[in-house]
A and B are shown apart, each in its own frame.
Chain A
Amino acid sequence: MIRLFATYQSVFDQILIYSLLAMSQYVVLRAGTFSVGSAAFAAIGGYTTAILSTRSGWHPALAIACGVVLGGVVSAIMAFPLSRLRGVFQAVATMALVQVVVTIALNWEDVTRGALGINGIPKVATTGWLVLIVAFVVALLHVLGRFSIGRAMDVIREDETVAVSLGMSVAHYQRIAMILSGLLAGLAGGLQACNSYTIKPEDFGFTLLVNGLAMAVLGGRTSVWGALVGAAVLTTLPELFRVFADYRNVVQGALLMVIIIYLPNGIADTLFGLAHDRRVRRLVTGLEPRAAAVSDSGAGSEVTR
């Protein structure tokens, strides 16, 4: 029984850590920046944490904080060239960054120990801490999305011409999104290092890039809950599909395709959308006498024909 719980606990931890990575991806997608650099910022956060807490003997919390800041600094620098690019070119540029970071991790053996990775990292990122941290970040991003910044990001993603015509600086908001993305991915990397005792370059390569992107898209790109749902689904699926043994990835890939085709807005966004529409319908039905009065008095109803 305890062993069973332990198994589930590690999956649960992984969901929480990946949800931070997915939020890092969500925040740039929401602002209309097609950055896939989260894997690189996670590597920077992870390696900084690992090196400082093992070799330099820093307190792990301080080491993680340094990893977070460094992830944010690198993403802030990256935001400058990215603001001159759009769409798929941003994706290619950030993909190159991931390659560069992973290559450095592989070859700078004196510092990163190369392909062997770094072992013996203190496991301080326990489930309790992870729950607290993720809850804090979700609350922060939820509030951020509700006010002016979230709205500006939505307009920028939808139509940059409209955004600038309303007085919004595209570069400013995309820079905010990139810095948040770097901080969150750095946090995910640092916590990953302090949760799994060990990190190596292959943890942060193309697979992590694709996973982060898939989580954000699958969960939904316009609310922070999408990242949570995406991380939960994509982390538990491989566990559920163990029965398919060698064909696990095939089944998982096929299922993801089905979800993307039938729920293009992602799971959370689709559910929220349905709930919203139902609430509005109920509201309108409740207001029927008033709505009818307005239709009678003016041109309001005529355009709905």
Chain B
Amino acid sequence: MSTATNAILRLEQVCRRFGGVHAVNEVTLSVPAGTITGLIGPNGAGKTTVVNLVMGLLHLSSGRVLLDGADISRAEAPALAQAGVARTFQNIRLVPHATVLDNILAGYHRHETAGFWANLLGLPSARAEAAAHESKAVALLERFDMPMLAEHRAGGLSYGHQRRIEIMRALAMNPRVLLLDEPVAGMNDAEAASLGQIFRDVAAEGVAVLLIEHNMRFVTSVCSYLYALSSGRLIAEGAPDAVLKDAGVVQAYLGT
């Protein structure tokens, strides 16, 4: 099973307090490369806070976060993104008036090497780089069955399409760690299944994927290991089927 040795991302005794509230309380978990690790829990359990802590958008009250064994607890979000940590958001956050293509291209930021002057003057190096990223973005759009929407404005598209654009933007980063915050919320089973296949493919390429999700059928179909969070504390971990049968998890979800 997952151990600290092959884990790309590891949280150790991570705590985050907001005033007197322990939003995340002594959480220890590992996200190994090549598999999808699930994180479930009722609303308000602290799942999104975990993502924000890993991404450097919130600072830890105590504990540490390790990326490939290196302590990244104090790193800021841009540095982590540059190091290959990507995320999607629970509420869709795109540039609504920009085209689908431009939204995805923003994900290539960490791979951009053309300098300021090349960009300002439109030098060949900047143009070549832009063209290369654009063809990669078009390939992503084809993988997601959306090639005909490239020039549409993102804000005018349906919820399901906007979700996919967010996922494509994260994949464009070519991440080493991918944090997915409820990626299939509001999708039907067929749509979820096609996304699930994409996530499995991404993980198979050697990416460490942490999936937060309420759709249990989806979680059991893609995750190889599962953590359950309730009121900021880990209450169960292990194989998905076992965790979902755990009495504490059932109680947390259904109440007594």
Contact = CB atoms under 8 A, between A and B. Distances in A.
B137 to A, nearest CB: 12
Given A148-B119, A154-B102, A165 B77 contact: yes
B126 A148 contact: yes
Interface of A: 140, 143-144, 146-149, 151-152, 154-155, 158-159, 161-162, 164-169, 176, 222, 265, 273, 276-277, 279-280, 283-284, 287, 290-291, 294, 297-300, 302-305
A148 B152 contact: no
Interface stretch (B3-11, B27-35, B90-98): B90-98
Given A303-B161, A304-B158, 18 more contacts: A143-B120, A143-B121, A143-B122, A147-B119, A147-B127, A148-B109, A154-B95, A159-B93, A164-B56, A164-B76, A167-B82, A167-B110, A168-B109, A176-B116, A277-B153, A279-B151, A299-B145, A304-B160
Interface of B: 55-57, 76-79, 81-82, 86-87, 89, 93-98, 102, 105-107, 109-110, 112, 114, 116, 119-122, 126-127, 129-130, 145-148, 151-153, 158-161, 169, 173, 187-188, 190-191, 194
The 10 lowest CB-CB distance pairs between A and B, nearest first, are A303-B160, A167-B81, A164-B77, A143-B122, A300-B145, A167-B110, A298-B145, A299-B191, A167-B82, A158-B95
Contacts of A283: 151
A278 to B, nearest CB: 12
B93 to A, nearest CB: 5
A162 B166 CA distance: 10
Contacts of B120: 140, 143-144, 149
A147 B126 contact: yes
Residue of A147, A277, A298, A302 with most partner-chain B CB within 10 A: A147
Contacts of B102: 151, 154
B153 A149 contact: no
Given A165-B57, A166-B106, A166-B173, A297 B81 contact: no
Given A155-B95, A167-B109, A298-B194, A146 B122 contact: yes
A148 B122 contact: no
Contacts of B105: 151
Given A140-B120, A159-B93, A303 B152 contact: no
A168 B145 contact: no
A139 to B, nearest CB: 9
A129 B147 CA distance: 45
B116 A149 contact: yes
Contact of B146 (A148, A162, A169, A300): A300
A182 to B, nearest CB: 16
A53 B86 CA distance: 54
B130 to A, nearest CB: 6
A300 B160 CA distance: 9
Contact of A165 (B55, B114, B127, B146): B55
A125 B122 CA distance: 28
Nearest to B147: A294
B114 A297 contact: no
Nearest to B57: A161
A223 to B, nearest CB: 11
A302 B193 CA distance: 13
A32 to B, nearest CB: 11
A168 B95 CA distance: 15
A162 B105 CA distance: 13
A149 B117 CA distance: 10
Nearest to B85: A165
Contact of A302 (B87, B126, B129, B190): B190
A16 B196 CA distance: 55
A294 B146 CA distance: 8
A169 B112 CA distance: 13
B232 to A, nearest CB: 22
A303 B147 CA distance: 15
A140 B126 CA distance: 14
A222 to B, nearest CB: 7
Given A147-B119, A303-B191, A166 B109 contact: yes
Contacts of A303: 158-161, 187, 191
A164 B153 contact: no
Given A155-B106, A162-B93, A167-B82, A290 B148 contact: yes
Contacts of B188: 299, 302
B119 to A, nearest CB: 5
Contacts of B81: 164-168
A175 to B, nearest CB: 11
